[in-house]
Structure 1
Amino acid sequence: MSPVESFDHAVHSRPKRKLDDYAPNLDGDDDDAETSDLVSVRMRKDEPNAVHQSSDLSGPIVSDAAETSSAESRTTTRSRLQFFIRMLSEGNTIVIQANSNDTVKSIHERIQVMTGIPVMEQRLIYRGKQLQWEQSLAECSIQNDAGLQLVGRMRSTEHPQAWQVIDDMVGVICRLCKGELVQSSLKLIKSRMTEFFAMTPKDDNDLAIGYLQIFMYSSAPAALVMLYMSPMSGNKECADSSIRHFLNSCRNALPKNLHTQCAPIVLEFCKLLRKFTPEDTLYLACRSTLGSLLENFGGSLWEKIGVLRVTKYGDDVKGLVVIQDIFPFVSELAGRLSRDLTSSMEMVLSVGPLVSDVRDFTAFLVPLRKAILGQVGITCPIAVPLPKRGYNHPSHGDEIEYLHGIFRDLLMRMDKCLGKVEERLNVRGSGDGEINYSGWSQYLTILKELYAISKLYQGTEEQFWKVLRRRKSPLCALILRYAKRSDDHRWLLEHKDVTNFESRRHLIMMMLPEVKEDYEELFEMLIDRSHLLAESFEYIGRADPEALHGGLFMEFKNEEATGPGVLREWFFLVCQALFNQQNALFVACPNDRRRFYPNPASKVDPMHLDYFSFSGRIIALALMHKVQVGVVFDRVFFLQLAGKYISLEDIRDADPRLYDSCKQILEMDAEFIDSDALGLTFVRDVEELGSRKIVELCPGGKCMVVNSKNREEYVNLLIRHQFVTSISEQATHFAKGFADILCNPRLQKFFFQSLELEDLDWMLFGSESAICVDDWKAHTEYNGYKETDPQIVWFWKVLL
């Protein structure tokens, strides 16, 4: 039995909790209304297709088959009864459920929870006799379709109009369930629902909660599901359309800040419908709606649900309710994914996990992980197996362990799936086959969720990355084919050892805007070659960043040529001018004249910081347009843009003399350097605007003599001043200009952290090796042509 199957068996074999354990406290103390109402209670034993779900909003989903799986449970099977409680004077209708061996007193208590009528003021009448508290419903000889009456004082309720609207709707549903013919029933139910959403306050969150609670407390979800399961002709279709109308209204009739308050109701629909079949299309629609709420609001959503449902039990219960509510969905979806992954290995590879299942799995895992992290006594990463039950055993430890089992099961299957992808890639590499299997499309999303789960447990993150390192080739192929701009790829970019240059470039290119093909959306420039840098600065440096995100259209004055070739030439010429040392913006490395870093003395030009911002925009735009500009950054500049520490080895190319000097200081004999033979203190000579001055590397540096104990600190401060402090303004403005072009400016540092310096070299300069025509051909993009067109065939024949 797999971990997923094992968990499913364990969860579905647990006993249910009673409604009273988690029922909201609705006790009413309002004595103003002293009206007595007769409440008819219609009861019937469940038929095979009847609703098998109590009004308990928090217990685990337990199938009837699982409940009766053991000999003991088979002998104690209880008949389920459905209650229709009708408040005659105001037309209020409430639906509850009970077991035949429930006591009359428990029914009174549940009526109090739902209506606010104190237990002591209630009387249940059956066949003219009052039922006694200690009796069970079976002992009272309640028959199928028995009619009961409730005599009691009804409390004054808040929002009477909302109650009336929902009561009218539930009343129509009850009549349909009894087989009555109701004209335009679907229209009536939808109109009442629309009216209810229209009167729900839109600008008062607390008041809106009160309205939405009415929908739950009136048992409207249970009534609608009962209608859905009704054998009467047309009832199923009516209920299906009505429930879908509710799901749509949650999203469309209410502002986003109130969507969270609909989640408890949607959860109730899910739990009721899930009893019948996980394949039911209405259940899947409700599950997806609930998943979308989780996706949008995450952990705060489930805190709200906890507040609505377990207020009288205090804050410490909220997290427990979260796990118990959502884990059945996680288990169900994990089982489906496990089966679908197996199918994608053993059957046709175009068969794979459904997008909807993966999306819902992802959505439900977000609050589940947060709930686990919030458990008392849990310290991540969690050691599995957990301690034996006792003082240190965390609440819902079984679920925590089973999630670990789900991780292991899905990771094992993903490992095998990636192996199959690798086999197909090898076949394709030999000249057969094509990498075009829709079954692979969800693999990256599943891997991302497994990575998130792995961070919860000890040793699992190492297992996860070990698999991906072993399957690096198929992983990179999946990235190139299926990674989307709308996805978050940081989890992959943070671990560069599982990707290659092509896949990393593909991922970071999605951090830049996509170049538009529509010329009307492009930013147009007309440049005079004789004033290339100044006019380019005016266009690009002064432009609104958003205007540059669509792309560029470039034209030189008095020249007819336009198009991508002209744009590439312009990029190359502008970069050659910016990095020309005569302009004093950048300094070339002595050991590699292609490499540059900001000139500490650039302030000789009063506009130097504006030009650094302009330079950042130009480099980002060149990357965005996939243009190689013939210059690359020195390691010290690259590391500063990435926000990383600069070490002695990093300055080797930027300043060989300083590197050699620092190396010698660190390697000198301790006694020699302690003799102060070098005469060094914590200062540095700086040349600025033609004059030299002494700068302290730290407060009081002039008086601090370099010795064997502090020489390492001296070297670090010297490097920091030369390559961080002295060019911090220049680097900051360059980074700001670069960030202006990114889709998300806040990811500027992460952009450079995601690359190796050699990756950026390839993107800005290209390879120094001879051109490989085969590689060129393999990476050529055709616009208006196909690879088989005669002109393209002739072109490659000439080159080859």
Structure 2
Amino acid sequence: MTSIKRPMETLSIPSKRQKVDADDFFILPINPIIRTAKDHSISALPSSSRLQFHVIITDVFWHYPECIHDVFSLDFHADSSDTIKSIHDNIQLITGIPVTERRLFYGETHLHCEQTLVECQVENFAELSLVGRMRSAKYPGSCDLINVAVSFIFIMCKEDPPIDVHTTPKLMLEEFLSMIPRTDIEQACGHLKMFSASSAPTALVMLYMSPFGTNKSAADEAVRYFLTSIKSILPRDMHHECVPIILEFCKLLKEAAGIDDPLYRLCRGSLGAMTVYTALAAKFSRALALSAESLVDISELSSFVAPLLKEIKGCDPIVVPLTEDFRGVPHVYSDELRILYGIFHDLLSILESCLGKLEDRISSDMEQDKDTIYIGLSNYLKLMKELNSISKIYSGCEGLFWEIMKSTKGAFCRLVVMCAKRGEDHSWIFECKEVTNFDARRHLAMMMLPRVKANYEVRHEMLIDRSHLLAESFEYMKHAEIESLRAGLFMEFKNEEAIGPGVIREWFLLVCQAIFNPQTALFVACSDDRRRFYPNPASKVDPVHLEYFGFAGKVIALALMHNVQVGIVFDRVFFLQLAGHTITLEDIRDADPLLYNSCKQILEMEPEAVDQDALGLTFVHEVEELGIRKTIDLCTDGKTIAVNSENRREYVDSLIQHQFVISVADQVEHFAKGFGDIMGCRRLQKSFFKCLGLEDLDRMLHGNESAISVDDWKAHTKYELFKETDDQILWFWKIVGDMTEEQKRILLFFWTSMKYLPVEGFSGLASRLYICKTFESSGRLPSSHTCVYHLCFPAYPTSDVMHDRLSIITQEHVACSFGTR
């Protein structure tokens, strides 16, 4: 029974993972199902099962509009023993589209006509994807031929006894290989991709494991023909394109037949004998040696190394000794390990030399010809990533790799800042943070945060009453769509006309002051550094405190995303918890100096004194909640267990864990979740904090902690309708130079909505600052346009008048929301 679903009735749309290239509809491999000598059957469901499933039309059948003009999905009922061909026949009855123009996929598995639903492991209520081949398919003849060959092999696997035909897999494979162009490398690679993606290796190994001798011989003949013929088809420097296919044969044969099987040994030997290893290494060595701009696309090396490493690591775990003599290494891939070892050292040596030259250029003419220099530099990072992966399988090589990266740290960090992009995996760099500087670590962290959208229409809008700033901001965030928050913010304060980046910066500063205000009871300030905060164990006095911690996590993530310095920093304990690290005694030094010193004394006391119960301690901890002191056991029956010289370390660790981990676990979890919501996933949240040091986060959240430099301020200020030599400008800088540090910050806030500068100082701002002349009376106070960093005032007649006006606006209560923003 079939029925046609109209577009509005569709159940779901296939995910991007299921999308197939319109020019090549069989790029997704079939899940390998190999028959072994002990098991000749393939089954996933009882053959009598009745299934209901949907066929989703995923591609554009533009040349059959009259057939499927508004059909989006087809509903089917079928027995699990029915073949895929019967499904195709029904689809053709409904749509009129020939089977030669379409394929069926289940997830990532291409379903062949000869297979049954049970063999394809199709489950009840599953979704199959109907994928069409566009008329512009690059190799339609080859495409049809290899799919016919695979279907033919599937039929051979099922027949008992084997079918009697006038062709063989070897003959069909011979015809397919004859269609591969000998001179067009791009087309040759396309044919090889076609061979692998059509599940030909899987089908041939299935046939090889058949209990019938004729089938086994036919498969053996076909695989041997492929191994010997492919080398004559491709030029030597393109042999690496065959490596993934041969590795796939090796993997399948190893699992199905074992390492002593003759065909497996032949595949292994063919892989080891290929001269691709040294040829590829030489190719990259030459490119590296030429110049920084000449490095070729590293994907060629990746396509060779990735499958080989995957296969090596899939064997029994082994770390190969640091030696070029691998003859004594009991490893199934000893030949490849030896050659890969040589490639690693050759490329690493030349890379070290290139990075040294690049580092010299950074300090001289890098900025002058950066557009030329940067071409191809992103491949350096990719090459380093590949070498780092290779280094892990050799004892000592990983350390050697990182030592060389440290020796060229300047060039390495510049490459990271210039070339690391969003969406790429840079986790390998976090393995050795010593090779990076603050700029590189900040760049990698910022690449994990969403990019603020330029379109205001997609940003989250908030209209906040200053008198209820924290509560209203919390409610807006609580009900906001996460996607709109990731896009950015559009802020207004009630009864104020100002909008734009200046208002957003001011809101971040004010809302963070409110969140971390001790009176809010969410966070506690460290006694020795009032800028540092960690979660308050007593925050649960507020029934919605955990929701506020989630809100706080979102605000901090958004502040970092908008590059706003909010003037607060995290205590080391809080930072380490967000990064997923264990808390130790040394970590609590700033958060609780008294407890830290007490624990140090307990650990340093003479054992005899501790054992004589001089401390009088048991495994309990006293805490105060809402003015009431409570005693909490640190372990079962803790009050009955005395602290002695043998268990004092356990006592100290338990005390620290309870005070700084267990007591605030929920608060940290909700803060981390809020932060992760903005980033997109919790895994990225931990990676964000792991790639940074505490000092890095200090600089990103608090900004420049040095006193504001008036000279730097002046150097980054321009003038409109004023000249630098005007009396008013000379008076202005003299007055600013005499201000207190707090007055300077209030003036900066009035001018820019920032109290704290970026780490780079005024040069880190998005643009220069401006002092603009107005033509109002001298009785008017200065005003500002914080979005564009404009400070406006009239030509005051005397220095005293200007001093009086600036004194008024550098009062905290006046600077807040004063002027034009």
Q: Give TM-score, length-normalised by structure 2.
A: 0.62
Q: Which amino acid aligns with 1:650?
A: D
CA distance 1:262–1:367, change in 2 (3 Å): farther
Task: Determine whether 1:362 maps to 2:302.
Answer: yes
Distance 2:153 2:468 in 1: 60
Contact kept in structure 1, 2:202 and 2:252, CA below 8 Å: no
Q: Unaligned regions of 5+ residues in structure 1, if any? A: 1-23, 30-157, 162-185, 231-235, 295-300, 786-793
| 1:217 equivalent among 169, 180, 195 | 169
The match for 1:716 is 653
Residues 417 and 440 in structure 2, CA contact (< 8 A), matched pair in contact too: yes
Check the 8 A contact 2:154/2:203 in 1, yes or no.
no
Q: Is the Cα–Cα contact under 8 Å of residues 209 and 261 in structure 1 kept in the other structure?
A: no
CA–CA separation in structure 2 for the residues paired with 1:205 and 1:633: 64
State whether residues 566 and 701 of structure 2, in contact with CA within 8 Å, keep that contact through their aligned partners in structure 1: yes
Output the amino acid matched with 1:371: E
SS at match of 1:591: coil
1:669 counterpart residue number: 606
| C-alpha distance in 1 between matches for 2:259 and 2:627 | 72
**Is 1:481 the counterpart of 2:481 in the alignment?**
no
Deviation at 1:757, TM superposition (A): 0.5
Q: Is the 8 A contact 1:427 1:433 kept in 2?
A: no
Measured in 1, the distance between the counterparts of 2:461 and 2:280 equals: 50
Partner of 1:385: 324
Residue 5 of structure 1 is matched in structure 2 by none
The CA distance in 1 between the partners of 2:455 and 2:313, in whole Å, is: 48
Alignment map for 1:375-414 (pairs within 5 Å): 375=315, 379-386=318-325, 388=327, 393-414=330-351
CA positional deviation for 1:261: 5.4
Alpha-carbon distance in structure 2 between the residues aligned to 1:205 and 1:684:
72
Matches within 5 A, 1:553-568: 553-568=490-505
Closer/same/farther in 2, CA of residues 435 and 427 from structure 1, 3 Å limit: farther
| In 1: Cα distance, 2:314 partner to 2:683 partner | 29
Quote the Cα distance in structure 2 between the aligned partners of 1:737 and 1:549.
Answer: 12
| 8 Å Cα contact 2:277/2:343 also seen in 1 | no
1:615 and 2:552 matched: yes
- Contact conserved, 1:584 with 1:601, CA < 8 A, in 2? yes
Q: Which amino acid is the alignment partner of residue 445 of structure 1?
A: K
Say which is worse superposed, 670-679 or 305-314, in terms of deviation: 305-314
Answer yes or no: is the 8 Å Cα contact 1:228–1:240 preserved in 2: no
Q: CA deviation at 1:645?
A: 2.1
How far apart are the structure 2 equivalents of 1:267 and 1:532? Answer: 75
Matched, 1:334 2:281: yes
Q: Partner of 2:643: helix, strand, or coil?
A: coil
Q: Does 1:597 align with 2:534?
A: yes
- Take 1:321 and 1:628, find their aligned partners in 2: how far apart are those partners? 63
8 Å contact 1:738–1:748 — kept in the other structure?
yes
Q: Distance in 2 between matches of 1:189 and 1:551?
A: 43
Equivalent of 2:688, from 720, 730, 751?
Answer: 751
Tell me how far 1:246 sits from its aligned partner: 8.1
Deviation digits for residues 4-46 of structure 1 (CA, Å, limit 9, x no counterpart) = xxxxxxxxxxxxxxxxxxxx999xx9xxxxxxxxxxxxxxxxx
| Cα distance in 2 for residues equivalent to 1:466 and 1:695 | 49
**Higher mean C-alpha displacement, 513-522 vs 694-703:** 513-522
The answer as to 2:476 corresponding to 1:519 is no
Q: Which AA in structure 1 matches 2:342?
A: G
Matched, 1:640 2:577: yes
Distance 1:275 1:707, change over 3 A: same
Among 464, 467, 472, the residue aligned to 2:404: 467
For the residue of structure 2 that corresponds to 1:427, the secondary structure is coil
- 1:441 aligned residue: 378
Question: Is 1:572 paired with 2:509?
Answer: yes
Q: What is the DSSP-based 3-state SS (H/G/I as helix, E as strand, rest coil) of the residue aligned with 1:494?
A: helix
Letter in 1 for 2:460: F
The SS at the match of 1:698 is coil
Identify the match of residue 373 of structure 1 among 299, 313, 321.
313
Aligned to 2:390: 453
Alignment match, 2:733: none
Matches of 2:665 and 2:461, distance apart in 1: 33
Q: Given the superposition, is the C-alpha separation of residues 217 and 443 from structure 1 closer, same or farther in structure 2, using an over 3 Å criterion? A: same
Q: Does 1:653 align with 2:653?
A: no
Q: Secondary structure at the match of 2:644?
A: coil
The offset of 1:248, in angstroms, is 6.8
In structure 2, give the amino acid aligned to 1:638. Answer: F
> Once the 2 structures are TM-superposed, how far is the Cα of residue 716 of structure 1 from its aligned partner?
1.5
Secondary structure of 2:487's match? coil
Query: How far apart in 1 are the matches of 2:156 and 2:683?
Result: 36
How much does 1:526 deviate? Answer: 2.0
Q: Provide the residue aligned with 1:765 in structure 2.
A: 702
CA contact (8 A) 1:590 1:653 kept: yes
Q: Cα–Cα, structure 1 residues 647 and 309, in superposed 2: closer, same or farther, change >3 Å?
A: closer
Per-residue Cα deviation, 1:500-558 (whole angstroms, up to 9, x for no partner): 00000101111111221122322222222222112211222333333322222222222
Change (3 A) 1:576 1:310: closer
Letter in 1 for 2:308: L
Structure 1 residues 201 and 244, CA gap change in structure 2 (3 angstroms)? closer
Residue 689 (structure 1) aligns with: 626
Partner of 1:350: 293
1:139-166: CA deviations, max 9, x gaps? xxxxxxxxxxxxxxxxxxx9899xxxxx
Query: Paired residues, what number?
Result: 575
Paired AA for residue 252 in structure 2: V
Structure 1 position 383, deviation (Å) = 4.1
Instruction: State the distance in 2 between where 1:497 and 1:626 align.
Output: 25
- Greater relative contact order structure (CA < 8 Å, 6+ sep): 1
- 1:535 pairs, out of 468, 472, 483, with 472
Please tell me whether the aligned partners of residues 330 and 365 of structure 1 are also in contact (alpha carbons under 8 angstroms). no
User: For residues 279 and 671 of structure 1, do their structure 2 counterparts lie closer, same or farther at Cα, with a shift above 3 Å needed?
Assistant: closer
2:252 aligned partner: 307
Q: Tell me how far apart the structure 1 counterparts of residues 767 and 526 of structure 2 sit (CA, whole Å).
A: 38
Q: Which residue identity lines up with residue 279 of structure 2 in the other structure? A: E
Contact 1:247 1:266 in 2 (8 A): no
Structure 1 residue identity aligned to 2:280: L
1:74-124 Cα deviation digits (max 9, x unpaired): xxxxxxxxxxxxxxxxxxxxxxxxxxxxxxxxxxxxxxxxxxxxxxxxxxx
CA contact (8 A) 1:528 1:556 kept: yes
Once the two structures are superposed, the pairs formed by residues 214-253 of structure 1 within 5 Å of their partners are 217-220=169-172, 222-226=174-178, 244=190, 247=193
Provide the secondary structure at the position in 1 that maps to 2:581: coil
Give the secondary structure class of the aligned counterpart of 1:487. coil
Alignment of 1:55-70 (within 5 A): none
- Offset at residue 201 of structure 1 (A): 9.9
Q: What's the secondary structure of 2:524's corresponding residue?
A: strand
- Give the 3-state SS of the residue equivalent to 1:766 in structure 2: coil
Query: 2:428 maps to what in 1?
Result: 491
Q: Give the aligned residue type for 1:540.
A: M
Change (3 A) 1:320 1:610: farther
Query: In structure 2, do the counterparts of structure 1 residues 191 and 716 end up closer, same or farther at CA, with 3 Å as the change threshold?
Result: closer
Q: CA shift at 1:323, angstroms?
A: 5.5
1:633–1:375 Cα change, 3 Å = closer
CA contact 1:631–1:765 (8 Å) conserved in 2: yes
Match of 1:57 in 2: none
Q: Which residue of 2 aligns with 1:275?
A: 232
- Mapped partners of 1:698, 1:611: distance in 2: 31
